[in-house]
């Protein structure tokens, strides 16, 4: 049976790639973007199976109106892929208030508004799957991405909580946590802070060297089958890392965290007081 999939941020990158893969196999897709002209090629190719809708996830009222349109058009929403987001690059000290607020507004609050709009529909259906695009930087951090890291840490807590609140209603949640991929996430979609404080130059140089290594960046096309498999799985994981960098980094991070927990066990227990 074909699925009805609602994807935000579908005009490029992962969103458009996955939308086309779903359409190609016969699913129906509600694809939203700030600029839906970028979806015209999919509309020309797949006709009524795709519903392109203009959406700014920062506008809560618009989110609820568009979500209602999706339900009225297709009759249900089986899967939400909450994908809209961007990255602010630069040191935390050099990040402006506006940049910080806009980062949290889109990555966190935008994800919250879409989830809140979809949940009543999935509750009524007594089934559904919310797939949130997070990042392995929602589990650990990299320098020069402080506000992005923070937004994804917040998203991790949000979706994990929704999962615990809705499991008995037949609603599943999954956090996809990619490492860097060769989309335009770090290019045209990115926002750059100023870089005037010279003391941070060594950090910037080290970061640039890492980014220059082509092995750092995953191949977006390689994510298609994993996403389709995730959507079709009856028991999807709560979290799913995408990319070998994410896998190896998180193995090291969690090993160190567990060691720290055990090494400080007596202090932790003593701090309880009784």
Catalytic residue, from 135, 152, 172, 200: name it.
152
Q: What is the pLDDT of residue 14?
A: 97
The encoded tokens of residue 240 equal 């799913």
Tell me the C-alpha distance between 19 and 29, whole Å.
7
Given the residues 148, 151, 172, 200, the one annotated as active site: 148
Residues shown for the chain:
274
Return the residue matching tokens 């799913």: 240
pLDDT of residue 187: 64
- Predicted TM-score of the model (pTM): 0.95
DSSP 217: S
At residue 9, the 3 state secondary structure works out as coil
What's the confidence (pLDDT) of residue 91? 97
Burial class of 167 by CB neighbour count within 10 A (0 to 12, 13 to 18, 19+): exposed
**What per-residue confidence (pLDDT) applies to 183?**
87
Decide if 143 contacts 203 (C-beta within 8 A).
yes
Query: Residue 36's CB: how many other CB atoms inside 10 A?
Result: 17
Residues of the chain predicted below pLDDT 70: 185-188
DSSP 106: I
28 part of the active site: no
Pairing assessment for the beta strands 4-7 and 128-133 based on DSSP bridges: unpaired
Among 11, 111, 134, 151, the active-site one is: 134
Q: Is 134 a catalytic residue?
A: yes
Instruction: Count CA atoms closer than 13 A to 197's CA, side-chain side.
Output: 11
Q: Specify the pLDDT at position 186.
A: 62
What pLDDT, on a 0 to 100 scale, did the predictor assign at position 32?
Answer: 98
148 is annotated as an active-site residue = yes
The model's pLDDT over 221-235, given as tens digits with 9 standing for 90+, comes to 999 999 999 999 999
Burial class (CB in 10 A: 0-12, 13-18, 19+), 69: middle
Report pLDDT for 240. 98
Report d(CA 32, CA 140) in Å as an integer: 29
Give the integer Cα–Cα distance in Å for 225 and 78: 18
């Amino acid at each position: 049976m074909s699925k009805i999939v609602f994807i935000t941020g579908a005009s490029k990158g992962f969103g458009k790639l996955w939308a086309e893969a779903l359409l190609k196999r016969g699913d129906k897709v509600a694809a939203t973007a700030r600029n839906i002209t970028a979806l015209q090629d999919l509309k020309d190719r797949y006709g009524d199976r795709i519903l392109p809708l203009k959406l700014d996830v920062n506008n809560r009222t618009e989110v609820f109106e568009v979500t209602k349109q999706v339900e009225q058009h297709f009759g249900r929403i089986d899967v939400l892929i909450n994908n809209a987001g961007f990255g602010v690059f630069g040191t935390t000290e050099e990040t402006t208030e506006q940049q910080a607020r806009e980062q949290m507004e889109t990555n966190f609050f935008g994800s919250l508004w879409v989830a809140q709009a979809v949940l009543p529909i999935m509750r009524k259906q007594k089934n559904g799957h919310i797939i949130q695009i997070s990042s392995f930087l929602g589990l650990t951090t990299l320098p020069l991405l402080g506000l992005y890291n923070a937004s994804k840490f917040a998203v991790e807590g949000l979706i994990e909580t929704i999962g615990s609140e809705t499991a008995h209603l037949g609603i599943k949640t999954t956090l996809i946590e990619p490492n860097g991929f060769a989309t335009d996430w770090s290019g045209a979609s990115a926002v750059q802070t100023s870089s005037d404080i010279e003391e941070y130059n060594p950090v910037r140089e080290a970061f640039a060297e890492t980014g220059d290594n082509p092995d750092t960046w995953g191949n977006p096309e390689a994510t298609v089958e994993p996403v389709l498999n995730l959507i079709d799985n009856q028991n999807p994981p709560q979290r799913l890392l995408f990319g070998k960098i994410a896998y190896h980094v998180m193995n090291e991070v969690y090993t160190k965290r567990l060691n720290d927990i055990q090494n400080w066990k007596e202090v932790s227990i003593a701090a309880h007081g009784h």
